[in-house]
Chains A and B, each alone.
Chain A
Amino acid sequence: MDLDKIRNFSIIAHIDHGKSTLADRILELTKTVSGREMRAQVLDTMELERERGITIKAQAVRVTWKGNELNLIDTPGHVDFTYEVSRSLQACEGAVLVVDAAQGVEAQTVANAYLAIENDLEIVPVVNKIDLPQADPDEAAKEIAELVGGEPDDVLRISAKTGDGVAAVLDAIVERIPRPSGLVSPEAPPRALVFDSSYDQYRGVVAFVRVVDGSFAAREPVRAMAQGTRFEAEEVGFFAPTMRAAQTLGAGEVGYVITGLKDVSRLRVGDTLTSERRPAADPLPGYKDVKPMVFAGLFPTDSDDYPDLRDALERLKLNDAALFYEPETSQALGFGFRCGFLGLLHMEIVRERLEREFDLDLLVTAPNVAYQALERNGEWVEVHNPAEMPRELDAIEEPYVSASIIVPKEYVGPVMELNNDRRGRFDHMEYLSPERVLLAYELPLAEIVLDYYDQLKSRTRGYASFDYDVAGFRPGELVRVDVLIADEPVDALSMIAHRDAAYPRGRALVERLKAEIPRQYFDVAVQAAIGSRVIARETVKAKRKDVLAKCYGGDITRKRKLLEKQKAGKRRMKQVGAVEIPQEAFLAVLNLDDGSRR
């Protein structure tokens, strides 16, 4: 295929600004799918994606427009998947930036636009939803022009819903986005960027690739250069929108390679494929081993479900190389897994898939971040669980993020106040328009994981939009707070807190536990401690009476049922030393309550 006739592009947008709807219209208009086949948002295959209105996995579809081959590379829309987004963008020469005419530029628009600019992409700016009564296309166009440079008049105005202006978008893609560059010669050592992969239970790992140099064909031995994984390409082809096998995939083209590999972790996003026969000297730039930053314990509510949870995680991992898990045993919650996620949304998606697709009833502990701890022996260790934090150490570092918050100007004060409370470091402030302000901060990820979204939403009446990117580890004045029940430390309740917050958080936890722990046959001390220093203490008083007075002929059945209920309650008790605590008490303290979810 002539490189002049190929255009590779992505659509980038803030959530709900109409990315998927635009993709659907493009498929229709180019007759890639017939109206009869058309289901709304064809590209989002997973049930969950459809419901949440977000795209988890990137896919690529080839369409034909006026004799040109256009490859639409779908990108995940959320910050947790920044690395995946950047790989998808690296596979393109241009991006259609979609902004809602009623909402204007949002935090994610900014983050994605910057990513596109960093990847040297030509941006085709589009204002969508011009059919809405509250639309202000001129204002939105002005904001976009301000953001990406250029004139407001160059911004296309469309309604993806009605199809109005979509043909002009396709024309602009052909006119404005550059043709791919690369070595077209069949002799050139081939190179292809893996920008995504998925797992098919019959065919193994399917790699989504952008061929940069040379060409790939079926039955060819292939090597992934960064990881060193070797396989034979079983089939190559493209999506239109379903899989179509092809003889070859040539330079500039986008498509798939069926690898036959049985594990997605053997072929990571960002790696470069080359031929074993004519290997390239250097891989394409930008490969990174993404590391999970947010950790939480996942425990089955019913301990009999443990093997099912293990199987489900194994299966999810096949399709989600970023998911990390290792077995965890908690005296309070039994057997489960400590799982690592790219961020909070990733965690929510995994949790929902486990519950929905695998029908598991889960208990998810409050999330924490990854810490770097410098032990007394001078070695750094990464800690995923507060209970594993060494008690004796020289330093702790915690992950920080660069956060962008966009708010109407009247909320700047409350947001600054929140960020100060959350140990944020002010970086800079920009007026995107006379009304809207971008605040850039550095914040500890741990503070975000702890109900930051809720606070931000409530303090800005829901007007704030927020995005972040992990900026690296920084030292912190952090301490490990342990909880002791009847002098026994309870692993699941340990937490890492900033020194200044340790006392109030320890106090709150102890008070909460006092309310949740049922009274026992003896007094039970509930304490929070830093090392051997107790910072908060409450006592659950022994119960003195627990017997129902009247029990005659007519009462026996009722008493027996009450006893059975009491007995069933006892069975759900967890033994912590001599103290019996119902799992619900731990749940109340540990579980993510709905309020702290995004």
Chain B
Amino acid sequence: MTGAGSVRHVYVHLPFCRSRCGYCDFVTVVGRAGQHAAYVDALLVELELEREALAPELETIFLGGGTPTFTEPGQFERLLAALPAATELTVEANPETVTPELAALLRRRGVDRVSLGGQTFQPELLRVLDRVAGPDDVRRAFYHLRDAGFDNISLDLIYGIPGQEPAGLDADIAEALALRPEHLSCYELEAKPGTRFAHAHGDELRRQAEAMESYFERVVETLVGAGYRWYETANFARLDVGGRDLRSRHNLAYWRGRDYLGLGISSVSTVRGRRWRTTPRLGVYLATLRAGRRPPRELELLPEPVRRAERFMLGLRLDEPLPLAELADEVDSASLERLEQLGLARTVSLDGGETGTSAPALRLTTKGRLLGDAVTADLLA
């Protein structure tokens, strides 16, 4: 099923949604049920065209959106059946789309990880976000997945929603923890320029900015206290599950600077020093692939120094020390010294294992991770 290349991670973009959420800036397509089949056809053609780049065995596939689970079930199942095998297969789901039937379909087709977009359990905040699901839908979806046998469920939470009080944030975290998900992704809401949301709530968010500054710390403290590993800036994995590593293997691939192939409109691929973004236009995408040609792409070349800077930037998001062997040139040593004095970064020695040697590595402290962007900008030579 796979090729002779080296790419071990595949992202598949399914853009269809029932309605658009005000805060979202992903490329999404509302409705268009009639085009789901054509889109799946196109994805499969695209996969064929790129197959050469793929390694004989894939490590992860991630289906994101949009709302992948909004895709017409027959077409969705056809896609899942046609995808190559992978060690981790994740699907993003919106609560209102998760029925026992859908959960069974996912299980049947080898999906072993579901990322559920809960966002918040406060009805009024869900309305602010234009979410279709209510708090009960989130819980119900979660149980449907559990009932179907899923033992690796991730829940997305959003904090910093206009009108969200500290008590509301605490309640959200408590509700999420009560479900005992294996994984949590917690994002601060960004009012991205150009979204309806930025237009409607930008001023309010700016007013609340100072009060909400402490929310991130609060999220980290509470989740770490509840037994989760804060393994990436916005991601937490449960530790009390008998030695299972519940971090997202797919996303870890991004943060470790691995190559990945993206399929579908607006998807991004990074392969052997080239990065490209496929056209966001559905019509163009369908037409070119129907003709058996690659869809238009925006190409970016990534010379080695740029790749190193990216590995450095991404690596510092993780809780594991970043080996400096190859990245020593990227670090500004004067800044490092200053940041160590301020208790934001620390150099450590990595045990070389069997070779008995030790290698220098860099990690950020908790405070340093909360200020990760500024610290990274300081450290980068």
Contact = CB atoms under 8 A, between A and B. Distances in A.
Interface in A547-585: 547-554, 556-557, 559-560, 562-563, 566-567, 569-570
Contacts of A549: 186-188, 190, 233-234
B216 A545 contact: yes
Contact of A557 (B262, B300, B370): B300
Contacts of B370: 544-547
A553 B250 CA distance: 10
A398 B374 CA distance: 46
Interface stretch (B131-139, B236-244, B281-289, B306-314): B306-314
Nearest to B186: A549
Interface stretch (B76-84, B119-127, B265-273, B319-327): B265-273
A551 B377 contact: no
A203 B112 CA distance: 89
A567 B254 contact: no
B314 A566 contact: no
A499 interface: no
Among A554, A559, A567, A570, the most chain B Cβ lie within 10 Å of the Cβ of A554
A114 interface: no
Given A543-B374, A547-B371, A556 B380 contact: no
A463 interface: no
A521 interface: yes
Interface in B211-239: 213-214, 216-217, 233-234
Contacts of B371: 521, 543-547
Interface in B157-199: 186-188, 190
A236 B51 CA distance: 89
A522 interface: yes
Q: Which of B190, B266, B313 is the most central at the interface, judged by chain A CB atoms within 10 Å of its CB?
A: B313
The secondary-structure label for the interface of chain B is mixed
Contacts of B374: 521, 543, 546, 566
B152 to A, nearest CB: 18
Nearest to B374: A546
A544 B213 contact: yes
Contacts of A557: 268, 275, 300
A552 B11 CA distance: 11
Contacts of A562: 373
A386 to B, nearest CB: 31
Given A552-B251, A553-B262, A547 B373 contact: yes
Nearest to B11: A553
A545 B375 CA distance: 11
Given A545-B217, A547-B233, A549-B188, A554 B342 contact: no
Nearest to B160: A549
Among B216, B251, B254, B377: residue with most chain A CB under 10 A: B377
Contacts of A556: 254, 268, 270, 275, 310, 314
A570 B334 CA distance: 14
B113 interface: no
A554 B268 contact: yes
Interface in A117-165: none
B247 interface: no
Given A544-B213, A547-B372, A554-B266, A559 B313 contact: yes
A546 B306 contact: no
Contacts of B275: 556-557
A563 B376 contact: yes
B380 A548 contact: no
B344 interface: yes
Contacts of A570: 377-378
Given A553-B270, A563-B376, A547 B314 contact: no
Contacts of B306: 560
Given A546-B373, A548-B373, A560-B313, A554 B277 contact: yes
Contacts of B267: 554
A521 B310 CA distance: 24
B317 interface: yes
B363 interface: no
Nearest to B371: A546
A559 B380 CA distance: 14
Interface in B288-316: 300, 306, 309-310, 313-314
A549 B373 CA distance: 10
Contact of A563 (B213, B262, B377): B377
A555 to B, nearest CB: 8
Contacts of A543: 213, 371, 374
A574 to B, nearest CB: 15
B309 A560 contact: yes
Nearest to B381: A567
A562 B374 CA distance: 11
A521 B342 CA distance: 8
A551 B257 CA distance: 12
Task: Give the size category of A's interface with B.
Answer: 20 to 34
B207 to A, nearest CB: 16
A566 B11 contact: no
Nearest to B217: A544
Contacts of A522: 342
B369 interface: yes
Contacts of A547: 216, 233, 369-373
Nearest to A568: B377
B260 interface: yes
Contacts of B187: 549-550
B317 A567 contact: no
A560 B309 CA distance: 8
B365 to A, nearest CB: 11
A521 B380 CA distance: 17
Contacts of A553: 11, 254, 260, 262, 268-270
B377 A567 contact: yes
B362 to A, nearest CB: 16
Contacts of A559: 313
Contact of A551 (B266, B314, B369, B378): B314
Contacts of A569: 377
Nearest to A567: B377
B378 to A, nearest CB: 6
A551 B254 contact: yes
Given A522-B342, A549-B188, A566 B310 contact: no
A545 B314 CA distance: 17
A415 B239 CA distance: 76
A546 B373 CA distance: 6
A567 B188 CA distance: 23
Contacts of A552: 251, 254
Interface string B43-58: 0000000000000000
Nearest to B306: A560
Contacts of B216: 544-545, 547
Nearest to A562: B373
A142 B54 CA distance: 96
A283 B179 CA distance: 102
B373 A563 contact: yes
Interface string B345-381: 0000000000000000000000001111111111010
A547 B380 CA distance: 15
Nearest to A552: B254
A550 B313 CA distance: 13
Interface of A: 521-522, 543-554, 556-557, 559-560, 562-563, 566-567, 569-570
Given A544-B214, A546-B371, 6 more contacts: A545-B213, A545-B371, A549-B186, A553-B11, A559-B313, A562-B373
Interface of B: 11, 186-188, 190, 213-214, 216-217, 233-234, 251, 254-255, 260, 262, 266-270, 275, 277, 300, 306, 309-310, 313-314, 317, 342, 344, 369-378, 380
Closest A-B pairs by Cβ, 3 of them? A547-B372, A566-B377, A549-B187
26 contacts: A521-B371, A544-B214, A544-B370, A545-B188, A545-B213, A546-B371, A546-B372, A546-B373, A547-B233, A547-B369, A547-B370, A549-B233, A550-B187, A550-B234, A551-B254, A551-B314, A551-B317, A553-B11, A553-B268, A556-B310, A559-B313, A562-B373, A566-B374, A566-B377, A569-B377, A570-B378
